[in-house]
Amino acid sequence: MQRYKVTLMYDGTAFAGFQRQPNKRTVEGVLTQIVNKMAKHPDPAIVVYGSGRTDAGVHALAQVVHFDLPFVIPAANMHKGLNSMLPLDMEITKVELVPETFHARYDVSGKRYLYRMDLGEFRNPFKRNYTGHWKFPVDLAKIRLALADLVGEHDYTSFVASGAQTRTFVRTIYEATCRVDQANNELVFEFYGNGFMYNQIRIMVGVLVEIGSGTRPVHDVLRLYQVKDRRQARRTAPAAGLYLKHVYYQGEDPQHPTKLPPHQR
């Protein structure tokens, strides 16, 4: 068996998320169909494993998956062949032959996400599938103070949607930044951590823009850690603004080389 590591990007607008679901168009479902078609429909069928899920409407600049083939196709041929069959809202950017010990999910040491928030006075119909929208004035200095409170190892219970399948709400955020994209009139948030839970980034962004607009105290994040109450975080930013930017694997980032322990996956 030969294991392949595949990096791909996709526009999440027309997908019901990453994970395969009956009678729904998903990234994993489309990729599984195409991989099996390319391999002439082997029995048993080839299974595709992703680094993690993205929700409906969430985009990826560099999602990672792996799968095994019972025969070897050169990486360059695999890359070209898969892209020739993929729909226009998906594109593979890299194919690698890797050892059978590699696992796209269990070897992850960290993930980096972007969130784009349009600041226009009116909702832009041409950006509705690719940004959130916040029409109120924001103070970037306040947002950056709040971002500093998010960095480190914390219990993020207040920032996780109900239904999260996790044994602990403790995670570590290594970096949390925000800049203004003047050309597009957007806030661009970036988060890098050892793992993020269900809707965590979207809820954090909702809290941050409220802090920036003055409807929350600057250090309200610290209070939310204490109360452990999702309802008090209130807002969840729209899925359309969220992008998976990069998936890190063991040893790729020397400062944070260790994969997520089993109880935090």
**Each residue's pLDDT tens digit, 228-260:** 999 999 999 999 999 999 999 988 888 887 777
Same domain for 84 and 176, yes or no, is no
Residue with tokens 């850690």: 225
- Residues of the chain with pLDDT > 90, as a percent, come to 89
Same domain for 120 and 247, yes or no, is yes
pLDDT tens-digit map of 118-168: 999 999 999 999 999 999 999 999 999 999 999 999 999 999 998 777 889
Last residue of a domain, one of 65, 98, 131: 98
pTM of the model: 0.95
Q: How many helices (H) and strands (E) does the chain have?
A: 6, 10
Same domain for 224 and 150, yes or no, is yes
CATH number of domain containing 159: 3.30.70.660
Residue with tokens 């996709």: 10
Of the residues 11, 55, 89, 155, only one is catalytic, namely 55
Same domain for 114 and 196, yes or no, is yes
Same domain for 113 and 243, yes or no, is yes
**With contact defined as beta carbons under 8 Å apart, do 150 and 176 qualify?**
yes
Active site residue 55: yes
Query: How many distinct structural domains can be found in the chain?
Result: 2
pLDDT higher than threshold 80 for residue 263: no
CA–CA distance, 41 with 39 (Å, rounded to integer):
6
Last residue of a domain, one of 98, 130, 165: 98
- 164 against 170, higher pLDDT: 170
pLDDT tens-digit map of 91-125: 999 999 999 999 999 999 999 999 999 999 999 99
Q: Is residue 48 part of a domain?
A: yes
pLDDT tens-digit map of 14-63: 999 999 999 999 999 999 999 999 999 988 999 999 999 999 999 999 99
Last residue of a domain, one of 98, 127, 146: 98
In this prediction, residue 250 carries a pLDDT of 85
- Residue 170 phi, psi (nearest 5): -85, 125
Q: Is residue 257 part of a domain?
A: no
Same domain for 94 and 113, yes or no, is no
Spatial CA neighbour of 205 closest among 129, 147, 161: 147
Q: Is residue 264 part of a domain?
A: no
Q: Is residue 104 part of a domain?
A: no
- 192 against 258, higher pLDDT: 192
Q: Which amino acid is at 155?
A: D
Q: Is residue 262 part of a domain?
A: no
In this prediction, residue 264 carries a pLDDT of 63
Average pLDDT taken over every residue of the chain: 95
- How many other C-beta atoms can be found within 10 angstroms of the C-beta atom of residue 192? 21
pLDDT higher than threshold 80 for residue 261: no
243 is in an annotated binding site: no
Same domain for 85 and 200, yes or no, is no
Give the domain range for residue 195: 109-251
Q: Is residue 261 part of a domain?
A: no
CA–CA distance, 74 with 102 (Å, rounded to integer):
18
Q: Report, as an integer, the average pLDDT of 214-227.
A: 98
Same domain for 247 and 208, yes or no, is yes
Same domain for 236 and 126, yes or no, is yes
In this prediction, residue 256 carries a pLDDT of 83
Same domain for 89 and 126, yes or no, is no
Same domain for 53 and 162, yes or no, is no
In this prediction, residue 124 carries a pLDDT of 94
**With contact defined as beta carbons under 8 Å apart, do 70 and 38 qualify?**
no
CA–CA distance, 50 with 118 (Å, rounded to integer):
30
Q: Is residue 46 part of a domain?
A: yes
Q: Return the ∠ at Cα 141 (arms to 225 and 138), rounded to 5°.
A: 90
Same domain for 242 and 183, yes or no, is yes
3-state secondary structure of 149: helix
In this prediction, residue 77 has a pLDDT band, given cuts at 50, 70 and 90, of very high
CA–CA distance, 215 with 207 (Å, rounded to integer):
9
In this prediction, residue 257 carries a pLDDT of 72
Q: Is residue 265 part of a domain?
A: no
In this prediction, residue 140 carries a pLDDT of 98
In this prediction, residue 253 carries a pLDDT of 85
In this prediction, residue 193 carries a pLDDT of 96
CATH number of domain containing 85: 3.30.70.580
pLDDT higher than threshold 70 for residue 201: yes
